[in-house]
């Protein structure tokens, strides 16, 4: 099991993107219960996941309509949500440094 330490951030994104809420919550519950010990094992479940710098992983949500950027530290079983948005908005960010902006 993973500890997703920024659940509030994920809920903020659910409010900001109501069409993606169900998909985000499904991702949350799937990953929460995941037994993946490294990126290769995670990739077996999430074939569309991509790893980038700083232990960051990008997930395609809703058939690539949205992108979710998280930081996963497999050793400690911790996930931190960094960013969520449309694929078009994703193309405008630096995925290696982007952070969730608090309202």
E strand or H helix that includes residue 48 = none
pLDDT of residue 7: 86
The whole-angstrom separation of Cα 39 and Cα 72 is 9
Q: Does the pLDDT value for residue 5 go beyond 90? A: no
Confidence of residue 15 (pLDDT cuts 50, 70, 90): very high
Q: What is the pTM of this model?
A: 0.93
According to the model, what pLDDT value does residue 102 have?
66
What is the pLDDT of the chain when averaged over all its residues?
A: 93
Q: Report the phi/psi class of residue 77: left, alpha or beta, with left for phi > 0 and alpha for psi in -120 to 50.
A: left
Q: pLDDT for 32-81, tens place per residue? A: 999 999 999 999 999 999 999 879 999 999 998 999 999 999 999 999 99
Which candidate, 65, 30, 56, 26, places its Cα nearest to that of 44? 30
Residue-range domains of the chain with CATH = 3-90 (3.30.2310)
Q: Kindly report the length of the chain.
A: 103
């Amino acid at each position: 099991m993973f500890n997703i330490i920024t659940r509030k951030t994920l809920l903020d994104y659910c409010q900001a993107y109501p069409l993606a809420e169900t998909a985000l919550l499904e991702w949350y519950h799937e990953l929460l219960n995941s037994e993946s010990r490294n990126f290769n094992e995670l990739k077996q479940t999430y074939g569309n996941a991509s790893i980038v710098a700083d232990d960051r992983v990008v997930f395609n949500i809703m058939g690539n309509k949205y992108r979710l950027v998280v930081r996963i530290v497999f050793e400690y079983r911790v996930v931190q949500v960094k960013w969520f948005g449309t694929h078009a908005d994703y193309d405008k960010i630096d995925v290696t440094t982007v952070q969730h902006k608090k309202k």
